Amino acid sequence: MSQPHPVLIAGGGPVGLVVALCLRQNGVPVRVIDKVLTYHIGARASGVMPRTLEIYQFLGVLSDVMKASRPCPTICDYELPGGTNVVSKFLMFAYTPPRPDRPYLNVRSLAQNLVQGILRSHLAKYDCQVELGTELRDFEDHGDHVVATLIRKNQDGTESTKSCKASYLVGSDGSRSTVRKLLRVNFDGETYEGLNMVFADVRVRGIEDIYWNKWGEMKNRMFTIRQMENDDHHWVLAGGRNLDTTNLRGEPESMTQWIAELTGRSDIKVDEVLSFTKYKPQMRMVREFSKGRVYLAGDSAHVHSPTGGQGLNNGVADAFALAWRLSLAYRSLASPELMSSYTEERGPIIKAMLEQTTALLEAASVSWGNFAQMGMGRNDRLPLYQLDINYRWSPVVLADKSCDRSSNGFPNRVSDQMDPIHAGDRAPDAPGLVDLSATSDNLMKTLFQYFKPTHHTALIFTSAVTTIDSLLSALDEVPKNVVRSAVVLPGITVVRTDNIDKFVRRSSVDFALKDCENHAYSTYSVDPSKSVVVIVRPDGMVGAIVGDGDGVRKYFRKILVV
């Protein structure tokens, strides 16, 4: 039975929007509120990591993101003093060719406000808009619902107070989160006092637009500026141990003078300041990502140094990990273990990524922006890409003994390419599939085209008809719309018009795929002579690797109340 009230999301940034979009795609009603009166103009976070691109594909927004974004710009480092001679040009992330299991191996650049615009446009298709000028002031958790006190800012400057009942409350309201403070959870960590930083969005003249222009290093004073992806304005990032911002104001004249002092360039003129922030890096996280019916995601739960671009990307991962749980909880299907596992899964990941970004902050003081010089390893295995993150230790993933693959349980592993897939790992892609269940489309498919935030996907690796029937019988016991099935046949399987029925039409399988190029069987480490079921969760992570119907039942008993 569904809950009688919508999910209330406090915070209309990328994290809140991803939660909302995922929930709406699952048919869950939501309200998204934000205390700001107008949508912000500014870059804030602009690096979109490969795992985030995968999540955007699952959500159906990737094509818009790719059209609006650009590859990370080349950094152009200028000599000081003088500020005009180029010392070097380098890529922050070198180009890496895609692989069958990792189709996105290059970071894209897209300003946060542009990402939010794309997410809002897709959310609008589900009749949901962000309610601006609406602030959460207080809430009470009543056990079976939450009552929130909302303050609405009126056109005449007055305020009105309203009460809102919600099935669940999600705090995605940033590093100064009201929801977190009202929850009274610790926000442990530190402020990096030895470093001053400035972020600003400006309209400016005298800049080479094709580069990310840079003067100096953060061990002393560094100034960088680059054009935004929509060519509307430029983004400033400055920082340093000796960067003096005492007299700096977010005004054109003050910034023009300050830039000249840092770069030696009097030809760079600021015409307009759209946003301006003085900042000291903070590294903090909560111990608990939820209490009762209230959940935290993104900066509300953790803040990173800006080095490495992990804040937004970890926030999107939080949102995607949380939303499918909430969609099951809204339908009264989620087990208590599933809901508590949100903290158990995301907590160790965030802790590991905080350690990474803090180490990067130290390294960046010597050579900012050049990750190849920071000892980060091969580009297809960069921890920043988040493609090797796993939840192998999670209490709600399962590998039965027949499919045991000796997990190491390390939360942020960088595995060897031959390391087999474990329960709790990211589910890899596999191209070269022919969909035998399709009626007209004969184009090759990839596994990622079947992974959605609306359901689990049970990949049944076998060509044995009796095994298919047995596994489908177990899947039929799962509540409606929770899981979809896809039989994956070995490439050597002979499929003709006179025997296709035994794989597709005679059973209740949703999809029948032939692994023509052997990517699926190889990537998922499946022996074609054996039968294995890989259950991919709605967040694109492997929930279970089992060998029979009993394993299927055992996994769903972990996560569902049935």
Mind listing the pLDDT tens digit for each residue in 528-542? Answer: 999 999 999 999 999
Considering the entire predicted model, what is its pTM?
A: 0.95
**Tokens of residue 13, six digits:** 């940034």
pLDDT tens digit string along 32-78?
Answer: 999 999 998 888 889 999 999 999 999 999 999 999 999 999 999 99
- Which of the two residues, 24 and 279, has the higher pLDDT score? 24
pLDDT tens digit string along 315-344?
Answer: 999 999 999 999 999 999 999 999 999 999
Break the chain down into helix, strand, coil percent, rounded to 5.
Answer: 30, 30, 45
Instruction: Point out which residues pair with 108 in neighbouring strands.
Output: 48, 71
pLDDT tens digit string along 66-100?
Answer: 999 999 999 999 999 999 999 999 988 888 999 99
Do the bridges between strand 542-546 and strand 532-536 make them parallel or antiparallel, or are there none, so unpaired?
A: antiparallel
**Residue reference for tokens 């990067």:** 360
pLDDT tens digit string along 161-170?
Answer: 999 999 999 9
Output the pLDDT for position 379: 59
Distance set, CA 560 to CA 15, 338, 401, 475, 478 (Å): 25, 8, 22, 13, 9
Query: Looking only at Cα atoms, what is the longest distance across the chain?
Result: 81
Domains in the chain with CATH codes: 7-66+109-187+283-373 (3.50.50.60), 73-106+193-280 (3.30.70.2450), 402-559 (3.40.30.10)
Output the pLDDT for position 78: 96
DSSP 351-416: HHHHHHHHHHHHHHTTSTT-GGGGT---GGG-GGG-SS-B-TT-TT-EE-GGG-------TT----
- The span from the CA of 460 to the CA of 380, in Å, is 28
- Which of the two residues, 445 and 413, has the higher pLDDT score? 445
Helix (H, G, I), strand (E, B) or coil at 455: strand
pLDDT tens digit string along 485-503?
Answer: 999 999 988 776 666 666 6
Output the pLDDT for position 415: 45
- Cβ-contact 40, 11 below 8 angstroms: no
- Which of the two residues, 478 and 497, has the higher pLDDT score? 478
* Mean pLDDT estimate for the chain: 91
| Confidence class for position 413, pLDDT limits 50, 70, 90 | very low
pLDDT tens digit string along 132-153?
Answer: 999 999 999 999 999 999 999 9
- Cβ-contact 48, 69 below 8 angstroms: yes
Output the pLDDT for position 223: 97
Looking at residue 457, its amino acid is T
Distance set, CA 230 to CA 38, 70, 115, 209, 237 (Å): 19, 10, 12, 12, 18
DSSP 73-131: PEEEEEPTTTS-SEEEEEESS-----BTTBS--S-EE--HHHHHHHHHHHHHTTT--EE
- Among candidates 106, 134, 108, 138, which has minimal Cα distance to 12? 134
- Cβ-contact 292, 141 below 8 angstroms: yes
Give the full edge-to-edge strand order of the sheet including 134-141: 134-141, 146-153, 159-166
Instruction: Point out which residues pair with 455 in neighbouring strands.
Output: 452
